[in-house]
Structure 1
Amino acid sequence: MDPEERFSALVDHFEGAPGVTAPGVGGTRGFGSAALKVNGSIFAMLSHGRLVVKLPRERVVSLIADGVGSPYDAGKGVPMKEWMSVAGGTDELWRALGREALDFVGARRR
């Protein structure tokens, strides 16, 4: 499965969850326009064929150290502390990271 198909499956998985908005809803353009959001905040998106998720900084550091992902810099050359990207992986990994990101971002936006 290519990254676009895998992300589409992730969107389908989370669509309908409380507070979750699918990509393209709301007509926004630019950063985050193709992202999964909870209560208006991005928790997962596809960028350059990679899953990008927002997680606690310590969790991002740990996952990168374990080789699960790499720092995400949004094209500015400076890693964003609470974001990481994942190339490849399994559907299960993407769903688990997506759930973790949804829980993290959703808890912050209540």
Structure 2
Amino acid sequence: MTSDERYAELVKAYLIQPGVSQEGRGFGASSLRVGGRIFAMLSSSGQFVVKLPGRRVKELIASGDGDRFDPRGGRPLKEWLALRDSSSQDWDALTREALEFVRSNSS
């Protein structure tokens, strides 16, 4: 299954969640939002990207599952993880984690 297909399945599953939408584009990518804030997306280069607490991003980088997301080149974002293609991390679990993180930080 391609990244586009995997992401399309996530979109379908998450759009039924309260407050979740897929409006506009973020960082030049297709993005899932809650309260207008992006929590998961497929970047314009096809990478699956999620917003997570900085410490969690560090853990996933240390395990070799991803890298900090760097949308413009030269300034990686500390709370954004770009999952590596080689990662065995479950996209749904990471998306759920990202949704909870972004919801908990919305005021």
| Match status 1:69 vs 2:85 | no
| Match status 1:55 vs 2:24 | no
Identical columns (%): 47
Mapped contact 1:32–1:42 kept (Cα < 8 A): no
Equivalent residues, number: 105
In the TM superposition, what whole-angstrom CA distance separates every residue of 1:61-96 from its partner, at most 9, and x where no partner exists? 011101111111112311100001013245x71101
Q: 1:21 to 1:58 in 2, by over 3 A?
A: same
- Alignment-derived partner of residue 91 in structure 2: 94
TM-score by length of 2: 0.88
RMSD of Structure 2 on Structure 1 (CA) = 1.7
| Unpaired segments ≥5 residues, structure 2 | none
Greater relative contact order, per chain length (Cα 8 Å cut-off, separation 6+):
1
Higher strand share: 2
C-alpha distance in structure 2 between counterparts of 1:54 and 1:44, whole Å: 6
Mapped contact 1:37–1:44 kept (Cα < 8 A): yes
TM-score by length of 1: 0.86
Q: 1:32 to 1:99 in 2, by over 3 A?
A: farther
| Unpaired segments ≥5 residues, structure 1 | none
- Alignment-derived partner of residue 31 in structure 2: 35
* Runs of 4+ in structure 1 over 2 Å off: 28-33, 87-90
